[in-house]
Chain A
Amino acid sequence: MTVEPILSTTALEKRFGGVRAVAGVDFSLQPGELRCLIGPNGAGKSTFFKMISGQLKPTSGEIRIAGHDMLNAEAYQIARSGIGIKNQVPDVMNGLSVRENLWLAAASRHRGAAIGRSVDRITERLALTAILDRLVGELAHGQRQWVEIGMVIVCEPRIVLLDEPAAGMSDEETVLTAELIREINKDMTIVVVEHDMQFIRRIARTVTVFHQGRILIEDSFDKIAADPTVREVYLGRSGGT
Chain B
Amino acid sequence: MIPEFSATAARPPKAWWWSVIALIALAMVMLPYYVDIALQLDLSIIFVFALLALSMGFLWGYAGILSFGQTIFFGLGGYAYAVLALNTGMTGLPFLGALLIPVAFSALLGYFMIYGRISDIYLSVTTLVVTLIFEKSIRSTSGPEYVIGSVRLNGQNGIPGVPGLTLPWLDGAPLSIEGVFYLTAGAMLLVYVALRLLLTTRFGRVIVGIRENERRMELLGYDTRLYKLGAFVLAGGIAALSGVLYALWGNFVAPEMFNLNQAAQVVIWVIVGGRSTLIGPIFGTGIVQYTSNWLGTVGVGQVTLVLGIVLMVFVLVFPRGLLPTIGDAFGYVRRRVAGRGATR
Verify if B220 is at the interface (C-beta below 8 Å from A).
yes
User: Is there an interface contact between A55 and B219, defined as CB atoms closer than 8 Å?
Assistant: yes
User: Is there an interface contact between B218 and A135, defined as CB atoms closer than 8 Å?
Assistant: no
Whole-angstrom distance between the alpha carbons of A96 and B3 in the complex? 9
User: Is there an interface contact between A100 and B205, defined as CB atoms closer than 8 Å?
Assistant: yes
Q: Which residue of A lies closest to B8 (CB)?
A: A97
Q: Given that A100-B205, A103-B205, A107-B202 are contacting pairs, would A94 and B221 also be in contact in the complex, using a CB cutoff of 8 Å?
A: no
Verify if B76 is at the interface (C-beta below 8 Å from A).
no
Q: Given that A53-B219, A155-B221 are contacting pairs, would A97 and B7 also be in contact in the complex, using a CB cutoff of 8 Å?
A: yes
Q: Which residues of A contact B (CB under 8 A)?
A: 53-55, 74-76, 79-80, 84-85, 87, 91-97, 100, 103-105, 107-109, 135, 137-138, 151, 155
Number of A-B pairs, beta carbon distance below 8 Å: 76
User: Is there an interface contact between A96 and B1, defined as CB atoms closer than 8 Å?
Assistant: no
Chain A residues, CB < 8 A from B219: 53-55, 75-76, 79, 84-85, 87, 91
Chain B residues, CB < 8 A from A95: 3-5, 7, 212
User: Is there an interface contact between B1 and A137, defined as CB atoms closer than 8 Å?
Assistant: yes
User: Is there an interface contact between A75 and B7, defined as CB atoms closer than 8 Å?
Assistant: no
User: Is there an interface contact between A108 and B5, defined as CB atoms closer than 8 Å?
Assistant: no
0 or 1 for each of B176-216: is its CB under 8 Å from A? (1 = yes) = 00000000000000000000000000100110110011011
Chain B residues, CB < 8 A from A105: 220
Q: Which residue of B lies closest to A91 (CB)?
A: B216
Q: Which residues of B contact A (CB under 8 A)?
A: 1, 3-5, 7, 10, 202, 205-206, 208-209, 212-213, 215-224
Whole-angstrom distance between the alpha carbons of A25 and B224 in the complex? 30
User: Is there an interface contact between A100 and B7, defined as CB atoms closer than 8 Å?
Assistant: yes
Give 6 A-B contacts (CB < 8 Å), ordered by A residue: A54-B218, A75-B215, A93-B212, A103-B10, A104-B217, A105-B220
Closest beta carbon of chain B to A58's beta carbon, Å:
17
Chain A residues, CB < 8 A from B216: 91-93, 151
User: Is there an interface contact between A76 and B212, defined as CB atoms closer than 8 Å?
Assistant: no
Whole-angstrom distance between the alpha carbons of A108 and B205 in the complex? 11
Q: Given that A93-B213, A95-B5 are contacting pairs, would A107 and B205 also be in contact in the complex, using a CB cutoff of 8 Å?
A: yes
Whole-angstrom distance between the alpha carbons of A92 and B221 in the complex? 14
Whole-angstrom distance between the alpha carbons of A53 and B206 in the complex? 20
Closest beta carbon of chain A to B201's beta carbon, Å:
10
- Please provide the 3 A-B residue pairs with the shortest distance between their CB atoms, ordered closest to farther: A93-B212, A79-B221, A75-B218
User: Is there an interface contact between A74 and B218, defined as CB atoms closer than 8 Å?
Assistant: yes
Whole-angstrom distance between the alpha carbons of A137 and B217 in the complex? 16
Chain A residues, CB < 8 A from B222: 76, 108
Chain A residues, CB < 8 A from B209: 93, 96, 100, 104
User: Is there an interface contact between B218 and A96, defined as CB atoms closer than 8 Å?
Assistant: no
User: Is there an interface contact between B215 and A55, defined as CB atoms closer than 8 Å?
Assistant: yes
Q: Which residue of A lies closest to B223 (CB)?
A: A76
